[in-house]
Amino acid sequence: MAETQNLFSNLQHSRDAVCRADGLACARGAITVFEGVSFSLAAGQALCLRGANGSGKSSLLRQLAGLLPAAAGTLTHPDPAYGTHYLGHADGLKAALTIAETLAFDAALAGYRADNDAYADIAARLGLAGCDWQFVGDLSAGQKRRLTLARLIMDPRPLWLLDEPMTALDAAGRALVTDLAEAHLENGGMIIAASHETLDFADEEVLLEPRR
C-alpha cells in the first residue's frame, strides 16, 4: 500500500506510449455511427473530438475504454483495464456516501491508504474545501463533476478519456480541469476528450460527421 504523499505524486508516464486509430468504425445494430476515423496520439498530447450530437463522440470514447467493440479498423492504446481512465456522462458516485467516504473508497480501489487530513486536502484541491462531510446526494452537478476528478489524481494512468469534461462547471471548475490536464500532459500522459467547445489543452481535433 502506498503512503499518503503518493496521492499527489507527479508520476512520469512512458514517453514511448501511443494511442492510434486506423480506419475505425462504429455500428449500433444495422446503423453505422461513424467510419474511417484515424488519428495518432503520442505521449504528452491531447486530442479533442468534435461533432454534433449523434456523430459518435461518446461511442468512440467507449471503444477506446474497451466498452464497445469496433465494427472495423484497429486500435493501439494502453490497456483499458489498467492504463486508462474513462470519465463518461454518468458520474458513478454513491449518493449515500460523504465526500470523504467517496475519496476513501476511490483511494482503496487505487491501492492507497490515507488519513482524513489527506482526503480533506484532496477535497480542497478540487475546490471542495470544508465540504468533505457533505453527502454526495446533496451536491450540485458541478460539485459532483469536481469530485469525479479525484480519480485522475489518486490513480495515475497514462490515457484519460473524458466525455464533455467542462459540463456543469463554472469558470473556476473549468480552470481546474485545464490545470489537471496540462499537468498530466507535462508528465507524459495522453488525453482524448469529447467536447462541444474548444479545449485549451488540446493539441489537435478530430471532427466526426453524423451519418445521414
* Residue 199 CB burial class (10 angstroms; 0-12, 13-18, ≥19): buried
Q: What is the pLDDT of residue 211?
A: 66
Rounded-to-integer distance, Cα 127 and Cα 204, Å = 29
Mean of the per-residue pLDDT values for the chain? 89
pLDDT band at 5; cut points 50, 70, 90: very low
Q: What is the mean pLDDT of residues 168-183?
A: 95
Q: Cα separation of 37 and 50, whole Å?
A: 12
The pLDDT of residue 9 is 52
CATH number at residue 53: 3.40.50.300
pTM value > 0.85: yes
- Check whether 49 has a pLDDT greater than 60: yes
Share of the chain above pLDDT 90, in %: 70
Q: What digits encode the pLDDT tens for the residues 90-129?
A: 999 999 999 999 999 998 888 877 777 888 888 999 999 9
Distance, CA of 142 to CA of 181 (rounded, Å): 18
Domain assignment of residue 111, yes or no:
no
pLDDT reported for residue 16 = 86
Counting Cα atoms < 13 Å in the Cβ hemisphere of 64 gives 36
Whether 7 shows a pLDDT value over 60: the answer reads no
Q: Is residue 134 part of a domain?
A: no
Residue 28, domain member (yes or no): yes
Domain membership of residue 123 (yes or no) is: no
41 within some domain: yes
H helices of 75-129, in order, are 99-110, 116-125
Angle ∠(128,131,137) on CA atoms, nearest 5? 100
Phi, psi angle pair for 112, to nearest 5°: -105, 160
Structural domains in the chain (count): 1
Position 200 in a domain: yes
Domain that holds residue 189: 4-93+156-207
Report the C-alpha gap between 25 and 71 in whole angstroms.
Answer: 5
Domain contains 131? no
Q: pLDDT value at position 195?
A: 95
- Tell me how far apart the alpha carbons of residues 126 and 117 are, in angstroms, rounded to a whole number: 14
What is the band of 139 on the pLDDT scale with cuts at 50, 70, 90? very high
pLDDT in tens, 140-162: 999 999 999 999 988 889 999 99
Amino acid identity of 45? Q
pLDDT one-digit tens code per residue, 9-42: 567 888 888 999 999 999 988 889 999 999 999 9
Q: Is residue 126 part of a domain?
A: no
Q: Would you state the cell numbers that stand for residue 131, as one nine-digit string?
A: 465540504
**How confident is the model at residue 2, as a pLDDT?**
36
Cell readout for 117 is 487530513
